[in-house]
Chains A and B, each alone.
Chain A
Amino acid sequence: NAGVTQTPKFQVLKTGQSMTLQCAQDMNHEYMSWYRQDPGMGLRLIHYSVGAGITDQGEVPNGYNVSRSTTEDFPLRLLSAAPSQTSVYFCASRQGRHHGYTFGSGTRLTVV
């Protein structure tokens, strides 16, 4: 099993550009989520999904869109990148109510 796979690992964007961060899991997990990690602030929840076709906002959703058309994939879209979105982004998944989360290796995004 590959677990949770994130691509790309690194990305530099110019302000105003758009891009999609990819996340895929091969564990048939229902729950998937996106976090961002910033120095001194810990990880914060952006968006999450409890199953295909169902998404909801987390703590810091502004500037990001998500969709979940399949169980395996949960892409995160930046519509118009801003320097404040410079961060490390982590995708995580969870099998069921009582289980812990499995994290991907992250995408380091720099917006200039």
Chain B
Amino acid sequence: KQEVTQIPAALSVPEGENLVLNCSFTDSAIYNLQWFRQDPGKGLTSLLLIQSSQREQTSGRLNASLDKSSGRSTLYIAASQPGDSATYLCAVRGIGTGFQKLVFGTGTRLLVSP
């Protein structure tokens, strides 16, 4: 059974810092991995999608990497801003019976202080 872990559970940084959020998964047989952002009381906003054949994806100040063989993904946020404060969720989509299902981590709650 696929399990997804996100470390740390919470992170507090001053504005301007570069930071890395970690996601690990137990079964390397994945189809793709998606990073989301969730603001308090809101829905999930997709940030980046990495297919299993890709090593990284970039969007603006965000860069996500994938090392499928070691079961790890990282989300790098450059020059953090107070508006980046949110919970970041990692979700893995499997293959076979797991193809129609996203398995989520419990998230990293990020606070960026001015």
Taking each of A31, A41, A50, A100, which has the highest tally of chain B beta carbons within 10 Å of its own beta carbon?
A100
Residues of B with Cβ closer than 8 Å to A?
Answer: 4, 32, 34, 36, 41-46, 49, 51, 89, 91, 100-107
Contact yes or no, B100 A31, CB < 8 A: yes
The reply to whether B51 and A106 form a contact with Cβ atoms under 8 Å apart is no
Decide: B100 and A56 in contact? CB cutoff 8 A. yes
Chain B facing A: main interface SS: strand
Q: How far is the CA of A35 from the CA of B100 in the complex (A)?
A: 12
Give 25 CB contacts A-B under 8 Å: A42-B104, A42-B106, A43-B89, A43-B102, A43-B104, A44-B104, A45-B102, A48-B101, A58-B101, A59-B101, A90-B43, A92-B102, A98-B51, A99-B49, A100-B32, A100-B34, A100-B46, A101-B34, A101-B102, A102-B46, A103-B44, A103-B45, A105-B42, A106-B42, A106-B43
Give the number of A-B contacts (CB < 8 Å). Answer: 53
Count residues on chain A whose CB falls below 8 Å from chain B CBs.
26
* Prevailing SS type, chain A contact patch: strand
CB A15 to nearest CB in B, in angstroms, measures: 25
Give me 8 other A-B pairs in contact (C-beta within 8 A), A42-B89, A43-B102 excluded: A31-B100, A33-B101, A35-B102, A41-B106, A59-B101, A92-B102, A100-B32, A103-B46
A residues whose Cβ falls under 8 Å from a Cβ of B: 31, 33, 35, 40-45, 48, 50, 56, 58-59, 90, 92, 98-106, 108
Contact indicator A105/B106 (Cβ below 8 Å): no
- How far is B51's CA from A50's CA once the two chains are assembled, in angstroms? 20
